[in-house]
Each structure stands twice: as C-alpha cells, then as structure tokens.
Amino acid sequence: MNLSLYLLTVLIWGTTWVAIKLQMGAVAIPLSIAYRFSLAALVLFAILLLSRRLQALGRRGQLICLAQGLCLFCVNFICFYTASQWIPSGLIAVVFSTATLWNALNARVFFGQRIAANVLGGGALGLLGLALLFWPQLVGHTASRETLYGLGLALLGTLCFSAGNLLSSLQQKAGLRPLSTNAWGMLYGSLILLTICLVQGVPLSFDASPRYIGSLLYLAIPGSVIGFTAYLTLVGRMGPERAAYCTVLFPVVALNISAFAEGYRWSLPALAGLGLVMAGNVLVFRKPRPALRPTPSTPAG
C-alpha cells in the first residue's frame, strides 16, 4: 500500500509542472492557485458528503486546518511561483528536495522523534544527485540580488511545506483522516489567496480557453485531490521525513518527460546524479537492522 501511494504521488507531482506552465498567462498567479484549491476543496467536500465520510472537526482541528491551509496551500505555492521568476527551476528543485532533511529535523524538535541516520544519509545523497542533475543550470546562472531573493523564497516555501507535513501528521495522530483535513485546509488556503487578491486589487479574471481549463482540472483533481491525499497519507503512515523523499524524485520524473516532450538530453553528470538519487531512495527506505540482544550466560556447574 505504501509503495503504491509513493509511486502515485511521485508520478502525479512529477507531471504537474506541465499543467503549471499552461496556467501561466492572463490570470494572476495567486488567483490561479486560488482557483485550483477552491475547485479541489469543492470536489473533496462533495465526495466526503456523498459517501458520509466527512469527519467532524473541533475548534483545535479547525485551527490546525487553517494553519495547514496557510502553509501548504497558500504561502508554499506563492513562494515557489514567485521564486521561479528569478532563479532556474533546477535550483528550486534542489532547494525543495531539502524537505526530507527539514522534516527529519522538525520532527525531532517538535515531536521528539529520533533522526534516523539512513534518512539523513539518503536525503544528502538525493540532494547531491539533484545538484548533478541540474549542474548546467546552477553553473550557468549568475548570482545577483534577485538570486538571493529567489533562494530565500524557495527556502521559505520549503519550510512552509515541511510545517504543513507536520501539521497533517499531528491531525492524523488525533484520528483525523487526510481527506477531511485536506478539504478544510484547501478551502482555507483558497480563501486566504482570494483575500490577498482583493486586498492587492488583482482583477478577478478567468481564462475560458480549453488549455487553461484543462490544466486547471488536472492540477485540482489529480494534482491536489489525489496527490495531496496520497502524500499526506504517506506522512501519517511512514513519517514526514521518509514521505518527503518524494520531493527528490519529482524532478527526475519531470526530466524524463522533458526528454520526450522538450528534447532534454541526458549527460554523464546527470546520469551520475540519477544514480545518486536512486541510491538515496534505497537508503531512506532501508529498514534498520534490529539491535542484537546479548545472550545471557549460563552459570557454571
């Protein structure tokens, strides 16, 4: 079950970049994100109400959903969309892949969970592998003030993503399922985004072209309803640090699609990076060996 959820998350989120590129155009970025999550929340609420599986949330649960909506379905996306205007996508992917390490560290600080050495080692291998995969972009990009702004936003987006992971883990420990908490979190996130648009005077426009509507449907249903539910279920089942290794594999899927759709060519450093990412994946999910218990000595005579 865990493997199926893991592969589903990686395949879906590894392909959403195509739909995100199709979203760029006449509609403002925060408004497009708001459309995405309001539609996703509507679909989730409809499914839960029709199947009578919508869980009742108390005041504490609603407040955590509000925080989750702010971190995971609002600030996170604004940071990454804005950062992509200043720094290359490869650099963003490398920063985002540090979510594995941030999740392990935050779980230690806030939940008192022991940091597994194999998770840290696998995360470091994955980070090094992504750096090799995107080496031409990293070397060819000149540093500037905008670069620092972009890196700062990408790091802030990653920290918000990590915070959203931990909040979901907290909700699941309280017996609340990701379907219900995601529905409320996405609703809150879209309302916050719409409020930001109104305060900033962003025109509430909509692109009725098949390209925009098709990409919106893909981002809302597979990308959000299925993707976030599968991923946050993994967070509850496997822990935030192991589930976050998905963030290392998304760019690998995206590069393979780019090889067919955009003529991306694999180089030796990129292949070496791919090998390191796969090795990191194996290391992250390797089960630790049980500690050997000393055999009690039998008394003589």
For residue 261, what pLDDT band results from cuts at 50, 70 and 90? low
For residue 36, what pLDDT band results from cuts at 50, 70 and 90? very high
Length of the chain: 301
Confidence check: pLDDT of 217 > 50: yes
Which amino acid does the sequence have at 120?
L
- Which range among 92-101, 125-134, 282-291 shows the weakest confidence by mean pLDDT? 282-291
pLDDT at 300: 44
Confidence check: pLDDT of 294 > 60: no
Which amino acid does the sequence have at 35?
Y
pLDDT at 61: 96
pLDDT at 250: 80
pLDDT at 232: 95
Confidence check: pLDDT of 110 > 60: yes
Higher pLDDT, 198 or 23: 198
Q: Tens digit of pLDDT for each residue in 154-191?
A: 899 999 999 999 999 999 999 999 999 999 999 999 99
pLDDT at 301: 39
Confidence check: pLDDT of 112 > 70: yes
Mark 79-117 as b/e (b = at least 16 C-beta within 10 Å).
bbbbbbebbbebbbbbbbbbbbbbbbebbeeeeebeebe
Query: DSSP alpha helices (H): ranges in the chain?
Result: 2-13, 16-23, 29-50, 59-70, 76-83, 89-96, 99-111, 117-133, 135-140, 145-173, 178-200, 210-220, 227-238, 240-243, 246-261, 268-284
Query: Using CA atoms in the order 17, 77, 39, 246, what is the torsion angle rounded to 10 degrees?
Result: 60
Is residue 252 within 8 A of residue 272, CB to CB? The reply is no
pTM of the predicted protein model: 0.85
Q: Tens digit of pLDDT for each residue in 61-89?
A: 999 999 999 999 999 999 988 888 887 77
pLDDT at 116: 81
Residues 6+ apart with CB under 8 A from 156: 75, 79
Confidence check: pLDDT of 24 > 90: no
For residue 143, what pLDDT band results from cuts at 50, 70 and 90? low
